Amino acid sequence: MPKTSVVYHSGYGHTQRVAEAVAEGAAATLIAISSEGDISEADWATLKDSAAIIFGTPTYMGGPSWQFKKFADASSKIWMQQGWKDKVFGGFTNSGSLNGDKHSTLSYLQVLASQHGGLWVSLGLMPANTLAASRSDINNLGGSMGVLVQSPTDAGADAIPQGDIDTALAYGKRVAAIAARLG
């Protein structure tokens, strides 16, 4: 099985819970970006060795957190050498509102992957959008580019709806399977 890594930032633990679900689905290594926006040299080496990299960040003010952006900017050194070219990439974001402008964040993650010459993996799940649909259903937020998650702002990560966690699990599995197929 090719190595998959999930590199994410979480300010208050909600996005971390999503990262854990994606990593569980992908059997991936988890790399947390620190509150200072840094990862270790060993973490950079892990990313270099990975066939697939999945980015994760909360949506803050309609985009990635500054800590994730600092990580992305630091990856410009790798971009110079096209060191991540042809890797498989994916992404997820989490916010307080059902919409919350998460699309802007996912678009940014896709652009980052594309700058690195990567192969972006879509969500690949049909939306749950019938009258009977609920927040317990897979892809109930109806995304297609990557994983969208909504966390109530007055509760901890355990209040994230199961449908969103299941979506994250399924996406991790999909990214790892595609990396294996290309492997």
Ligand X SMILES: Cc1cc2nc3c(=O)[nH]c(=O)nc-3n(C[C@H](O)[C@H](O)[C@H](O)COP(=O)(O)O)c2cc1C
Which class for 59: exposed (0-12), middle (13-18), buried (19 or more C-beta within 10 A)?
buried
Instruction: Output 119 or 157, the one with its CB closest to ligand X.
Output: 157
Beta bridge partners of 60: 63
Q: Is there binding between residue 140 and ligand X (CB under 6 A)?
A: no
Instruction: Output 91 or 118, the one with its CB closest to ligand X.
Output: 91
Instruction: Output 62 or 124, the one with its CB closest to ligand X.
Output: 62
Q: Of the candidates 61, 126, 155, 182, which one interacts with ligand X according to CB under 6 A?
A: 61
Nearest approach in angstroms of CB 100 to ligand X is: 2
In this structure, the chain runs to a length of 183
Helices 162-182 and 14-26 cross at an angle (nearest 10°) of: 40
Q: Is there binding between residue 37 and ligand X (CB under 6 A)?
A: no
Q: Are 11 and 94 in contact (CB under 8 A)?
A: no
Helix (H) or strand (E) holding 178: helix 162-182
- Token readout for 137 is 């259903």
How many other C-beta atoms can be found within 10 angstroms of the C-beta atom of residue 181? 9
Q: How far apart are CA 183 and CA 171, in angstroms?
A: 18
Instruction: Output 63 or 117, the one with its CB closest to ligand X.
Output: 63
Q: Is there binding between residue 110 and ligand X (CB under 6 A)?
A: no
Q: Is there binding between residue 58 and ligand X (CB under 6 A)?
A: yes
- Which residue sits closest to ligand X, CB atoms considered? 100
Q: Of the candidates 2, 37, 83, 96, which one interacts with ligand X according to CB under 6 A?
A: 96
Residues engaged in binding ligand X (CB under 6 A): 10-15, 58-62, 94-97, 100-101, 151, 153
